[in-house]
Amino acid sequence: VTSRVGTVDGADLEGYWKAVAAGDDVTASAVAQGALERGASVETVLRDLVAATQSRVGSLWAENSLTVSHEHAATAVSETVVHRIAAGLPEPTGGPLLLVACVEREWHSLPALVVTHTLRSWGLRADYLGASSSRDQLVSRILDTGPRAVLLSASLASSLPRVRRQVEAIRGTGTPVVVGGSAFDPAGRRAQALGATAYAATPAAAVGLLGTLPQHVTPAPALRGPGAVEARSVHTSAESIVRDVLLASDAGLGTTESMRITAPYDWRVVLTTFVPHVVDCLVGALLTADPLIVEDARGWLVDVVARRGGDPAAVDVLWGHLAERLREFPEATALLLRH
Ligand code: B12
């Protein structure tokens, strides 16, 4: 069928989805292979089949139509598919080395894996460090291999404070750092605020930027402004803030420590599980002066609670406890009470 040449179509997507949902990596790989054999590029298959299906997995989890273990199983299938596609790629021959890494405590490794193999499919040399790289790991790899640039991936807005730490470490070695992933806004404002050399939405955009990157970058200047000052204090006491907000929320919602083990899918438990994520999103919003981060996190939580049959007003209660705990911080309070 000529219309299927070079592309991923609806039949591929359905076949791939069924295989992923069934945890069947053999069939999922066969669907991907079929598209490649019809002339679709590795970039197209990874983006339009693998990444597109992962978005569907995420939406279904949010809707409560898919459990966390299904989400993990689906991701494992996609990871296997990417590795199989990668095994068929020729060895890159030369050119600049790119180092692809995930921010510390970022377990969304598939986006970075997809970026790595898309680059390799174009004959570029790309090293992949896997999920959650510490600053020390990252710096010692940079010193060992001297990459032309680091491509740093972050999916969670709550990773933005750790993006800043990694950017500082990478720039400390003089190496340019290009950031990407769903933690960032498409205009690249968060990336710029955090001191990244550049932002790229796709592997192709990152490659397009390579020629414009400086050979050597200076250390990241300290972040100034009232938000950055508050961000430091909130970040330093994040654990105690989370503990206090959890205690207050547990009292209001009737959740207990043992419920987190016996009823992990109860909407109240799901809601309170996200308190650390919310606090880190707030720090990210303070660092980047981007109120959308807090708004998005709140909107997502309202959705998650509503889809699980809970009362969305519970999110207001949680927000109230957080605002109360942070009342000495005017910038943080303003971000929380903005909506
Ligand atoms: C699978 C998944 C997980 C798995 C990850 C397993 C793994 N090994 O990767 C698990 C279950 C662990 C997980 C956990 C969580 N997740 Co999750 N997860 C997802 C999901 C469904 C798919 C991610 C994925 O694989 N995408 C496929 C890749 C290929 O797509 P991509 O991001 O679009 O990547 C492309 C571009 O962004 C770009 N790119 C990415 N990085 C870079 C870097 C550079 C330099 C460049 C140039 C380009 C680039 O190129 C890629 C290729 O096209 C997404 C939903 C989604 N729509 O993506 C949520 C999502 C990322 N998760 C989310 C959340 C909130 C969480 C949790 C906090 C809560 C939860 N849902 O349980 C925890 C936190 C865990 C942690 N500390 O890391 C949110 C993040 C929202 C935000 N921005 O803050 C998302 C977006 C879901 C949502 N709609 O809210 N998750």
The 10s digit of each residue's pLDDT in 108-161 is 999 999 999 999 999 999 999 999 999 999 999 999 999 999 999 999 999 999
Provide the pLDDT for residue 279: 97
Range name among 54-58, 254-258, 297-301 with the lowest pLDDT average? 254-258
Percentage of residues of the chain with pLDDT beyond 70: 99
How far is ligand 1, taken at its centre, from the CA of residue 332, in Å?
A: 26
d(CA 143, CA 175): 10
Return the residue whose CA atom lies nearest to atom 9 of ligand 1.
108
Q: Quick one: average pLDDT of 36-47? A: 95
Predicted TM-score (pTM) of this structure: 0.94
User: What is the band of 256 on the pLDDT scale with cuts at 50, 70, 90?
Assistant: confident
Return the residue whose CA atom lies nearest to atom 24 of ligand 1.
54
213-246 tens-digit pLDDT: 999 999 999 998 899 999 999 999 999 999 999 9
Q: Which long-range contacts (CB under 8 A, 24 or more apart) does 69-76 make?
A: 70/21, 73/23, 74/20, 74/21, 74/23, 75/110, 76/23, 76/25
Averaged pLDDT score across all residues of the chain: 93
Residue type, 62: A
How far is ligand 1, taken at its centre, from the CA of residue 164, in Å?
A: 19
Q: Are 174 and 149 in contact (CB under 8 A)?
A: no
* 136 closest CA partner among 162, 166, 160: 166
Provide the pLDDT for residue 168: 98
Provide the pLDDT for residue 69: 84
Provide the pLDDT for residue 102: 98
Range name among 109-118, 171-180, 192-201, 261-270 with the lowest pLDDT average? 261-270
d(CA 163, CA 234): 16
- CB-ligand 1 contact for 105 (6 Å cutoff): yes
User: What is the band of 64 on the pLDDT scale with cuts at 50, 70, 90?
Assistant: confident
Contacts of residue 153, Cβ cutoff 8 Å, sequence gap at least 6: 100, 101, 102, 103, 106, 108, 111, 112, 115, 179, 180, 181
User: What is the band of 3 on the pLDDT scale with cuts at 50, 70, 90?
Assistant: low
Pocket test for ligand 1, best of 102, 155, 197, 212 (most atoms within 8 A of CB): 155
- Residue 100 CA: nearest ligand 1 atom is 45
Reading the block at residue 155, the tokens are 């999916």
- CB-ligand 1 contact for 107 (6 Å cutoff): yes
- Residue 157 CA: nearest ligand 1 atom is 84
Residue 309 Rama label (left phi>0; alpha psi -120 to 50; beta): left
Pocket test for ligand 1, best of 48, 108, 160, 162 (most atoms within 8 A of CB): 108
* 85 closest CA partner among 129, 126, 52, 116: 116
- CB-ligand 1 contact for 169 (6 Å cutoff): no
